[in-house]
Structures are given as C-alpha cells and as structure tokens.
Amino acid sequence: MVFNSLVFLVFFAVVYGLYRVLPHRGQNVLILVSSYFFYGWWDWRFLSLIFVSTLIDYVAARVIDDAGDNRRRRRIAVGASIVSNLGILGFFKYFNFFAENLAALLQAFGVEVSLRHLNIVLPVGISFYTFQTMSHTLDVYRGQMKAARSFLDFAAFVSFFPQLVAGPIERAARLLPQIQQPRTISRDGLESGAWLVAWGLFKKCVVADNLAVLVDAAFGAEAPTGAVALLALYAFAFQIYCDFSGYSDIARGISRWMGIDLMLNFDNPYFAVNPKDFWARWHVSLSSWLRDYLYISLGGNRRGRGRTYVHLALTMLLGGLWHGAAWTFIAWGAFHGAMLVVYHAWAERYAPKGTADSGRWLWPRRIFFFQLTCLGWLLFRAESLGQVGDVLSRIFTDFAWDAQATDALAALVLFCLPLWLVQLLQVKTGDLLAPMRLSAVPRAALCATLILMALAFGNTGGGAFIYFQF
C-alpha cells in the first residue's frame, strides 16, 4: 500500500474518520491496528518481524531501566537488543551478499565451495523500523530517557504507519511522548499538513515518476551518448530527491493531521556547499542516527585527528551498506566518507574558525558541490561498478548532442522548474512553508501550475517509492 494509490486514500479516510472521534487510548489502539494492517497489506507474514523487534526492545529497555546500577545486567540487555535486531536485519538484507562474496574470495585462493543461495525476500522498511526501535533501548541505556511502560504505546511508536516503511527514522525521545500524551489537532496543523501532502504528491507523481522514465531508459540503453547519460544523471539526482523527500513530506503532512509532528528529513540538500552541509540537509533522520549511535560510539572526534577521519569514513561506509547489499552502495558510502574526510582536513587547516561555511562564493560552491553529489549518485544508481566506468567513459569520450539529448533536457527543465522555483523561495525566506504564506495572486498561480501539471503529467498508477527497497 503506497501513499499515491486509491487503496491508501480509502484506507486513510476510514482510519482518520475513526481517529477524530476516538479518545486518546482508543486512538493509540487504532494507530497500532491500522499500522499493522497497512504493513500486512504488502505481506502479512512479515508482521511477525515487527512484533518480535518491538517485543525485544520493549523488554530490553524495561530490564535496563529496572536494573539500576547493575552494569552487567544492563549490558546484557542492550547487547541482546543490538545483536537480535542487527541479526534479523543482517540475515534478510545481507546473507546472500556476504555468502556470494565469501565464496568468490575463497575461490580466488583456490578453495572450491558449494554456495547455498537462499531465496530471501527483503521485508519492506526493515532498515527503518529496526533503527527506530533500537533508538529506544540505546537512549534508555544511556540514561537519556525512561523506558516505556505501556506496550501499546511503544508498539504504536514503532509501527506508526505514516513513517513505517521509509521514515523519517524517529527517535523514541521525540515521537514516543507524542504517542503517550493526548494530542491536539490544530488549524495550523491541518493547513501545513495539506501543503506537505500536496507538495509531496507533486514531487513524487509529477517530478520523480516522469524523470524515472528518462533515467531508466538511459541506464538501460546499450549505448546512449555521453550527453544523454549526463542529463540522465542530473535527472536521477532530482528523481531520487523528489521520490524520497516526497514520501517524507506526505508522512509529515498526514501526521500533522493526526496531531503528531515528525522531524524534518530534507532541507533543500542541493543547496549544500560542502559534504558536511549536505548531510545536515539530506536524510537527516539517518545521518543524525549514524552520528549519535555509531560515529560517537566509535569515539567521534575525541581520539585525535587521524582517528576522527577513520570514524567519519567508517560511519559513511556503513551508511552506504545500510542502503543495500551491493558494492555500488558501499562505494557510494566510501565516496561520501572520503569527501567528508577531505573537507574536514581542509577546513581544519584553512578555516579553523568556521569561515568555510561563510557566504563567500555561495552559488559557485553550491554548483560545484552539486556536481560531486551527482557523481556520487552515479555510484548509487548504477547496476554495477562496471556500469559506472562505462557511463563516465561515454560522458568524457562520446559527448555527442543529438535529438535524444534535446528531449532529455526539455523533460528535465519542464518537470523540475516548479521545484526549483519553490526551493529558491524556501531558501531565500528560510521557511519551508513559505509557499503557504504568499499573497493571494502568486499563491493562486502556484497552485494552478501544480494542479495543471498534475492533471497533465501526474502518474496515477501508484508507483512504489525508491526507498521501499531499503
């Protein structure tokens, strides 16, 4: 069940109608039941994974909370949570990948092995809800919050359907209290939620789904020209941004209608001027999770400059692996890790007081870093590392402009122009809800443009979101 489908529209209409008339505890029961129904619509068999993960972390957090000063008991409980959750995630997501690569490594040394390839189906959203439920146990272990006492409230927090399968990855300290306390649905929440839902659907159904046709054709073609390949790479940058941020916008909008405020997951990342700035804007819920629970746990910047660089690189490498069991994702993580290391080394030497993030040469720096970001997206989108080399070779050796390139450029501009204009407004005002605050005439013009483009080009087929595969 996806947001951009008639099935979800009917589902949410029924759920929301009941939600508005139920008391607080009844709302939480409804959240839990409807969330399990929402997830089970895809494959009911995998509901057991959510339940098991929920139960493990609920019990582990309770044990940690009740253990007091018993450090051994606390460590056993948090260890059980980490091993269990990562074990489930590792089996479903990485078993075949590691088995295949281990077999290849052994064969390279002359050891013949019989590879057992399991027919494993990757559960939708497992990477997201696994990290979300673990955050509760880790925060309780660190003394940053008390363990949830109500299993109903905790299970509703883990499975909250708007952000269950593609985030944002909410922290227990932020979302759980909103589940535990009675909620108020305000006029501002309804209005801002409506904008987020509408804008998110536009980004997904108009921009992302139409650019996907261009991107898939270019990456699937035998030999597109370098010009087409480059334009397809730019198109993919906006496809994946609009697809993923569109989902986050819809999730945040629906949640606001329910009186719940989800964290901001995207803040115009293509206006970033350096890799540090980019990861403060792109998939913020994941980057902050990796920072707080992995980078800092490794030692962060507390063990000297060299170790800091190692921790940065390792965190991003594992962040790439989080996205999928493929060398392309690992290479993408390594690429961003290398950029972070280089940037931090440069800033420490030439801009120790933070002037690296000043406004000097702002647009040239944005444009330059966008090129680097797109180079990273090539690693992310390519089917193999070999295809990465092939695409780069064509861009630099066969950059022939033809009719196909002209069509690709026209499609890129047509579908992205409203996006760019809205983003410029948001960046200029520093307000992501700035389109809502326009005067009557420009607001009407914007709405008319979005509606007409949705009617003319909108995909009504309910295509899946890219990040469902992660």
Residues 6+ apart with CB under 8 A from 361: none
pLDDT at position 42 is 84
> Counting beta carbons within 10 angstroms of the beta carbon of residue 444, is it exposed (0 to 12), middle (13 to 18) or buried (19 or more)?
exposed
pLDDT at position 121 is 74
Instruction: Give the pLDDT mean for 222-244.
Output: 91
Instruction: Give the pLDDT mean for 341-353.
Output: 81
- Please tell me the total number of residues recorded for the chain in this structure: 470
**How far lies 106's CA from each of 11, 27, 330, in Å?**
51, 55, 21
More confident residue, 110 or 246: 246
Instruction: Give the pLDDT mean for 134-158.
Output: 94
- For residue 129, the tally of other CB atoms under 10 A from its CB is 26
Is pLDDT of 355 > 80? no
Is pLDDT of 396 > 80? yes
Quick one: how far is CA 118 from the chain centroid? Answer: 27
Q: How many Å from the N-terminal Cα to the C-terminal Cα in the chain?
A: 16
Is pLDDT of 356 > 60? no
| Lookup: tokens for 416 | 């992205």
pLDDT at position 69 is 84
Vertex 208: Cα angle to 207 and 210 (nearest 5): 70
Assign 469 a pLDDT band (cuts: 50, 70, 90). low
For the chain, which residues make up each domain, given as ranges? 6-183, 188-469
Is pLDDT of 29 > 90? yes
Minimal CA–CA distance to 248: which of 236, 268, 262?
262
pLDDT tens digits for 360-376?
788 899 999 999 999 99
Assign 100 a pLDDT band (cuts: 50, 70, 90). confident
- Looking at every residue in the chain, the average pLDDT score rounds to 90
Alpha carbon distance 100, 80 (integer Å): 28
Alpha carbon distance 46, 39 (integer Å): 8
Alpha carbon distance 387, 221 (integer Å): 11
- Which of 68-82, 90-104, 326-340, 395-409 is the least confident region? 90-104
Is pLDDT of 59 > 70? yes
Is pLDDT of 166 > 80? yes
Assign 96 a pLDDT band (cuts: 50, 70, 90). confident
Alpha carbon distance 170, 135 (integer Å): 8
Alpha carbon distance 433, 196 (integer Å): 8
Assign 45 a pLDDT band (cuts: 50, 70, 90). confident
Assign 108 a pLDDT band (cuts: 50, 70, 90). confident
Quick one: how far is CA 437 from the chain centroid? Answer: 28
Instruction: Give the pLDDT mean for 8-28.
Output: 95
Helix and strand numbers (H, E) in the chain are 19, 0
| 136 touches 169 (CB < 8 A) | no
pLDDT at position 357 is 59
**The dihedral sign for the CA sequence 191, 197, 202, 207:** positive
pLDDT tens digits for 113-126?
776 666 777 788 88
Region of 177 (left: φ > 0; alpha: ψ -120 to 50; beta: rest) is: alpha
pLDDT at position 460 is 67
**How far lies 119's CA from each of 52, 91, 95, 97, in Å?**
22, 12, 10, 12
Catalytic residues: 323
pLDDT tens digits for 169-179?
999 999 999 99
| 125 touches 39 (CB < 8 A) | yes
Alpha carbon distance 370, 237 (integer Å): 9
More confident residue, 350 or 88: 88
